[in-house]
Amino acid sequence: METRSLELFAEARKLIPGGVNSPVRACSSVDSTPLFIAAGKGSRIRSADGEEYIDFVQSWGPLLLGHAHPKVLAALREALENGTSFGAPCEAELRLAQAICAAVPSIEMVRMVSSGTEAAMSALRLARGCTGRKKLLKFDGGYHGHADAFLARAGSGVATLSIPGTPGVPEAVVSDTLIAPYNDSQAAEDLFRLHRDEIAAVFVEPAAGNMGLVLPRPGFLESLRALCDRYGALLVFDEVITGFRVAYHGAQGHYRIKPDLTVLGKIIGGGMPVGAYGGKRDLMLQVAPAGPVYQAGTLSGNPAAMAAGLATLRVLRGLDYAALSAAVEDFCRELEGIFAAKGIPARINRLASMFTVFFSEREVTDFASAKNADQTRYTKFYKHLRARGVYIAPSAFETAMVSFAHGREDFRQTLEAADTLEF
C-alpha cells in the first residue's frame, strides 16, 4: 500500500520541483512514484504507509553500517546536547581529519565541506589553481556532483533523466571539459597528446558507481596515473562512493594506486551532510587561508556531522570487509543462477558491498554498454521487487549498496522475490 506516499508526493510536487530534493529520487525513470520513508533501522526502511522494505539504496551510500546504527545515534545525541553549529573550529573536525588521513593512503591534509559536489568542485578549483591549467578530463558516465564543469555527459541523475547536456551551464564552461569513454586508456592518451599541458586534472571514479557499477579494467587506473605523471596533470580519485566502502582504505587502497587528490563524501558523514577533499600536503597548503585558492562553507566541519562521521569510521575500522564482500558475491552468484534458469540474459557487476544488475547479454564495461542494457527489464525488475518488499535503486544507472547490517534473511527474501520474476 502506498496511499500516504502518494498523498505526500502530490502535496510535495506543489512546492518542490518534481516533488523531490534530488532528481534521482523521483523514480520517474522506472515508471514509478517515490516512497516517502518514515524510518530506517539496519538493513530495512519503513514507508509512510508503514510498509517495510529491505533497503539496497541505503541513502545512496553513506550508511555502510545500515540505518540508525546505535553508536552513530549516540554520538549525534551527545554532540547535539552541546549545540548544532559554532562557525568556529571544534575538536571533532580534527579527530575526523586524523581518522581520514590515517585511513586513506594519499591524503596528508584534508578540508571538510558539506557535500560531494562541493568537495569535487573545490578539488577541481585547487587542481586548476595549482597547475595554472584550465582543462578537466573526465569519463563518459562519470558523476562528480552537479557543479557546472562536471555536467557534461555525466552519470547518475543526469543519465537517469537523460538530460541532454545541461541547460544553464554555459558552453564556455564545459568547453574545458574533455570526455573519454571509461576504461579507454587510448582515448585518454589521445586527449593528452592533443591538449598536452592544458589539462589540469583527470577526474575518475576508481570504480564507477553512476552508470550502474562499472569496474576498472586491469591497467586502466595505472594508465591514468602514468599519463598524469607524464603530462604534469593531477590525478583525482572521486571516492565519494568508494571511499571507506570498497575497503577501509578506499578503492585506492584496494587497487594500490595513489592519486594526487581524493574527493570523499557519504560514508564519512555517516548519513549527515559531509564531503571532503584531500591529498598531498604541498597541494592542500594552496587552499585558503593557508594559500590563495579560496573555498569556504558555513557548515563545513559541523560538529554533529563530524561526530556521526567519526563514530561511523571508528566502527568500520574493526569490521570484516572481506566477509561482507563474500556475502555479496554469494548473493550475486545465486541471483545469476536464478536469471540463467529463467533464460534471462543478465550481467551482475559487483565489487565489495556494491552490485548492479544489467539486463544485457554483453559485459558492461563503460557508459555505452551500460546504456545498451535493457532498461525496460530493469524497470520491471524494480517494480517486481518493490511490490515484494525489496527496495533497489530506482535507476539502472546507480549501484546497489549493501551494508554490514544486511544478513542472510535479507538476501534470502530478495532471492525469493527475484525467483518469481517473469519477463
Q: CA of 364: how far to CAs of 125, 160, 179, 208, 358, in Å?
A: 32, 17, 19, 11, 8
Instruction: Report how far residue 156's alpha carbon sits from residue 108's, in angstroms, rounded to the nearest whole number.
Output: 30
Can you say whether residue 155 is alpha, beta or left, with left for phi > 0 and alpha for psi between -120 and 50 degrees? Answer: beta
Task: Decide if 266 is catalytic.
Answer: yes
Can you say whether residue 162 is alpha, beta or left, with left for phi > 0 and alpha for psi between -120 and 50 degrees? Answer: left
Number of other residues whose CB lies within 10 A of the CB of residue 321: 19
Instruction: Report how far residue 266's alpha carbon sits from residue 403's, in angstroms, rounded to the nearest whole number.
Output: 13
Q: Closer to ligand KE4 at the Cβ: 309 or 339? A: 309
The reply on whether position 24 binds ligand KE4 by CB under 6 A is: yes
The reply on whether position 156 binds ligand KE4 by CB under 6 A is: yes
8-state DSSP, 59: G
- In the set 140, 266, 366, 371, the catalytic residue is 266
8-state DSSP, 46: E
243 forms bridges with which residues in the sheet? 247
Q: Which of residues 124-143 bind ligand KE4 (CB under 6 A)?
A: 143
The reply on whether position 410 binds ligand KE4 by CB under 6 A is: no
Q: Binding residue for ligand KE4 (CB under 6 A) from 40, 42, 209, 279?
A: 209
Q: Which one of the spans 76-84, 89-97, 111-119, 193-201 is the region binding ligand KE4 (CB under 6 A)?
A: 111-119
Q: Closer to ligand KE4 at the Cβ: 162 or 420? A: 162
Nearest to 279 by CA among 314, 246, 234, 317: 234
Give the torsion through C-alpha atoms of 155, 156, 159, 165, to 10 deg: -60
Residue with cell 554532540: 79
Q: Closer to ligand KE4 at the Cβ: 99 or 211? A: 211
The reply on whether position 206 binds ligand KE4 by CB under 6 A is: no
Instruction: Report how far residue 92's alpha carbon sits from residue 308's, in angstroms, rounded to the nearest whole number.
Output: 10
The reply on whether position 163 binds ligand KE4 by CB under 6 A is: no
Closest separation in Å from C-beta 375 to ligand KE4:
17
Coil, strand or helix at 63? coil
Q: Closer to ligand KE4 at the Cβ: 104 or 417? A: 104
- Asked if residue 137 lies in contact with residue 188, where contact means CB atoms within 8 angstroms, the answer is yes
Closest separation in Å from C-beta 334 to ligand KE4:
25
180 forms bridges with which residues in the sheet? 139
The reply on whether position 115 binds ligand KE4 by CB under 6 A is: yes
Closest separation in Å from C-beta 401 to ligand KE4:
9
Alpha-helix runs per DSSP H in 132-200: 156-160, 171-174, 185-195
Instruction: Report how far residue 228's alpha carbon sits from residue 225's, in angstroms, rounded to the nearest whole number.
Output: 5
- In the set 53, 143, 378, 382, the catalytic residue is 143
Q: Binding residue for ligand KE4 (CB under 6 A) from 34, 116, 212, 278?
A: 116
Q: Binding residue for ligand KE4 (CB under 6 A) from 44, 69, 138, 144?
A: 144
Q: Which of residues 384-403 bind ligand KE4 (CB under 6 A)?
A: 398
Closest separation in Å from C-beta 368 to ligand KE4:
19
The reply on whether position 205 binds ligand KE4 by CB under 6 A is: yes
The reply on whether position 120 binds ligand KE4 by CB under 6 A is: yes
The reply on whether position 262 binds ligand KE4 by CB under 6 A is: no
Q: Binding residue for ligand KE4 (CB under 6 A) from 238, 260, 374, 410?
A: 238
Q: Closer to ligand KE4 at the Cβ: 24 or 305? A: 24
Q: Binding residue for ligand KE4 (CB under 6 A) from 10, 17, 22, 165?
A: 22
In whole angstroms, what separates CA 289 from the centre of its chain?
A: 29
Cell numbers for 21: 530534493
Active site residues: 143, 238, 266
Residues of the shown chain interacting with ligand KE4 in the complex, contacts defined by CB under 6 A: 22, 24, 60, 115-117, 120, 143-145, 156-157, 205, 209-210, 238, 240-241, 265, 275, 398
